[in-house]
Amino acid sequence: MYTTENYPPIDSLIPHRDRMRLVEEIVGLTAEGAVTRSTVTSQWPLMYDMKVDPLVIIELVAQTSAIHVSWKKGAVHGQKGGGGLLVGVKEAEFFLDSISVGTVLTTSIRDMYSLDNYTVLEGIVCAESGNVGRVEIQVIRFH
């Protein structure tokens, strides 16, 4: 893994801004996966009674995957990042009914398999108390 000083700014890797950008920090990036960190705030989508619905972890996995795929395209393959992603949820498991404001979440994703511009990634989202959920997504990159 690289050190955090070597990572490009998150805004250069994903289009998400304001309330929709949930990832705060890149913790690790390799050709095989990525790790990010986020803190649940009252501004997050799916917020109710100072807690978020665990469905939000799908978006955390999607954003971490977008960071990974965009970075990998540039750092590993020497191409410019970005280009649009279409994400499909293949499978999702949620281990909590809700996630409280202030909870720090670590999202780890890894490539499961790829073919041309199609990739399936697995994401695990954890809090200090343990696993929050697991999500498999499908990503198609358009040139």
The answer to whether 141 and 121 have CB atoms below 8 angstroms apart is no
Q: What is the pLDDT of residue 127?
A: 97
Q: Does residue 1 sit within a domain? A: no
Indicate whether 11 belongs to any domain. Answer: no
CA distance 80 to 129: 38
Residue 89 resides in a domain: yes
pLDDT score of 77? 52
- Of 33, 117, 121, which is closest to residue 83 (Cα–Cα)? 117
> Count H helices, E strands: the chain?
1, 9
Amino acid, single-letter form, for residue 96: L
Q: Return the CATH number at 26.
A: 3.10.129.10
Q: What is the mean pLDDT of each run of 10 residues along the chain (143 residues)?
A: 64 78 92 95 94 96 90 63 70 97 98 89 96 94 67
Instruction: Answer whether residue 28 is part of any domain.
Output: yes
Whole-prediction pTM? 0.87
Domain extent, residue 43, equals 18-141
What residues contact 141, with CB distance under 8 A and at least 6 apart? Answer: 69, 73, 83, 84, 85, 117, 119
Q: Specify the pLDDT at position 83.
A: 53
The reply to whether 27 falls in a domain is yes
